[in-house]
């Protein structure tokens, strides 16, 4: 699932990403996407009532939605508020208005909720601040199916160890 697993992980960025949505960048995003993919698949397999099976379309949509929420919206919000803080320090002479203080407080609240793993509350806070359009079902399914494909290509299944008497 890492960049090395798919020699052209950059194919999710650039012109091809127009089909999928905005591209997350950096190796941290690739690691995060792989963890989200494995976490969502394990959750589906453990809660599914079909003897450890999961429907691929449902899994792809759930993974794509989780990627959109976590990688794109939340981290975009955190980067946007961080950039404003950097711009403030460069101006040095200017006074910060109430909006900047509100953004800083909201950023602290979001970071604390992330540390406490209260992602539902984080999504609600960020959704109010986010001006980007949702990806849509087809784009989330495409992203999720591509990540499942990468997981299957790089997966290594260890055989059970035999118990010796």
Alpha helix (H) ranges present in the chain? 27-47, 56-67, 75-91, 98-115, 119-129, 137-154
What is the model's pLDDT at position 15?
Answer: 41
Burial of 71 (0-12, 13-18, 19+ CB in 10 A): buried
Confidence category of residue 144, pLDDT binned at 50, 70, 90: very high
What is the model's pLDDT at position 14?
Answer: 41
Confidence category of residue 19, pLDDT binned at 50, 70, 90: low
The more confident residue out of 27 and 117 is 117
Confidence category of residue 142, pLDDT binned at 50, 70, 90: very high
Confidence category of residue 28, pLDDT binned at 50, 70, 90: low
Give the domain ranges of the chain: 9-154
Q: For residue range 32-78, list pLDDT tens digits in order.
A: 888 889 988 888 888 876 777 778 888 999 999 988 888 777 777 77
**pLDDT above 90 (res 146):** yes
């Amino acid at each position: 699932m890492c960049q090395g697993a798919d020699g052209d992980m950059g194919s999710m960025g650039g012109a091809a990403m127009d089909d999928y949505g905005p591209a997350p960048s950096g190796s941290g995003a690739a690691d995060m996407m792989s963890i989200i993919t494995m976490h969502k698949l394990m959750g589906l397999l453990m809660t599914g009532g079909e003897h450890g099976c999961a429907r691929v379309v449902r899994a792809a949509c759930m993974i794509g939605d989780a990627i959109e929420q976590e990688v794109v919206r939340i981290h975009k919000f955190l980067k946007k508020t961080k950039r404003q803080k950097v711009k403030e320090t460069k101006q040095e002479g200017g006074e910060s208005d109430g909006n900047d203080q509100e953004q800083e407080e909201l950023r602290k609240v979001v970071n604390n909720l992330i540390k406490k793993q209260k992602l539902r509350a984080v999504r609600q806070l960020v959704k109010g601040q986010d001006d980007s359009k949702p990806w849509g079902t087809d784009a989330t399914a495409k992203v999720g199916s591509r990540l499942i494909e990468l997981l299957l290509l790089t997966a290594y299944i260890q055989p059970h160890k035999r118990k010796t008497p």
